[in-house]
């Protein structure tokens, strides 16, 4: 249960949300609660509409790793649930999940290629507060990715971080995208 109740929704907007929920297969409480502030709702939907699916040499697998890593680092249960759903389809291994959880050194994971590994290191610096990027990681990122790819990675990280803050601020629980969510690791 969220911290606040859902507002009464204007019928045309209700229809839009229902279409999205039917496509996703789950109630989208974040969108519903954002309707308390229509400007935030519409700007958030625009942000969500611009979500990257594939950009240049950025694979859907790398985008899934980015979404999972940000969700895990910020420890947002709803986001972990949603962004980790169908992770097996992206050939994400249990070792890689342990690495993203901080339980296994990324350098020891053989299934990660250099672009994936560097991106996960990059996320760790960008998501923490205060932000502390390792200049060597940033330099390597700019060598491994062109400007458009780099911008896509940065904005995808920012997009997921935005949603984690909104969702946690509303107190939205996991929606049940994963049948069993064993991805949340408590140290």
Q: What is the pLDDT of residues 127-163, one digit of tens each?
A: 988 999 999 999 999 999 999 999 999 999 999 999 9
Q: What is the value of pTM for the model shown?
A: 0.89
Q: Are residues 66 and 147 in the same domain?
A: yes
Residue with tokens 């996991």: 174
pLDDT at site 186: 46
Q: Are residues 114 and 23 in the same domain?
A: no
Q: Are residues 39 and 102 in the same domain?
A: no
The mean pLDDT of the chain is: 90
Q: Quick check: is 102 in a domain?
A: yes
Confidence of residue 183 (pLDDT cuts 50, 70, 90): low
The predicted model gives 94-118 an average pLDDT of 97
Q: Are residues 68 and 21 in the same domain?
A: no
Is residue 57 scored above 90 in pLDDT?
no
pLDDT at site 182: 56
Q: Are residues 99 and 40 in the same domain?
A: no
Is residue 93 scored above 80 in pLDDT?
yes
The answer to whether residues 179 and 30 touch, using CB atoms and an 8 Å cutoff, is: no
Using DSSP's 3-state secondary structure scheme, residue 112 falls into coil
In the chain, how many domains are there?
Answer: 2
Q: Quick check: is 41 in a domain?
A: yes
Cα separation of 80 and 111, whole Å?
21
The answer to whether residues 109 and 96 touch, using CB atoms and an 8 Å cutoff, is: yes
Cα separation of 9 and 19, whole Å?
14
Q: Which domain holds residue 128?
A: 60-170
């Amino acid at each position: 249960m969220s911290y606040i109740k859902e507002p009464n929704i204007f019928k045309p907007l209700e229809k839009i949300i229902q279409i999205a929920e039917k496509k996703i297969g789950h109630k989208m409480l974040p969108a519903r609660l954002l309707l308390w502030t229509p400007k935030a709702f519409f700007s958030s939907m625009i942000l969500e509409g611009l979500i990257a699916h594939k950009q240049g040499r950025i694979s859907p697998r790398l985008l899934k790793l980015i979404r999972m890593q940000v969700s895990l680092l910020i420890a947002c249960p709803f986001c972990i649930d949603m962004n980790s759903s169908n992770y097996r389809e992206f050939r994400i291994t249990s070792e890689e999940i342990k690495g993203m959880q901080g339980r296994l050194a990324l350098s020891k994971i053989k299934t990660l290629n250099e672009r994936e590994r560097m991106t996960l290191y990059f996320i760790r610096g960008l998501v923490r507060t205060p932000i502390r990027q390792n200049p060597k990681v940033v330099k390597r990122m700019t060598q491994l990715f062109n400007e458009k790819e780099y911008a896509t990675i940065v904005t995808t990280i920012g997009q997921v971080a935005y949603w984690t803050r909104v969702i946690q601020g509303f107190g939205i629980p996991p929606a049940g995208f994963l049948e069993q969510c064993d991805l949340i690791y408590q140290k």
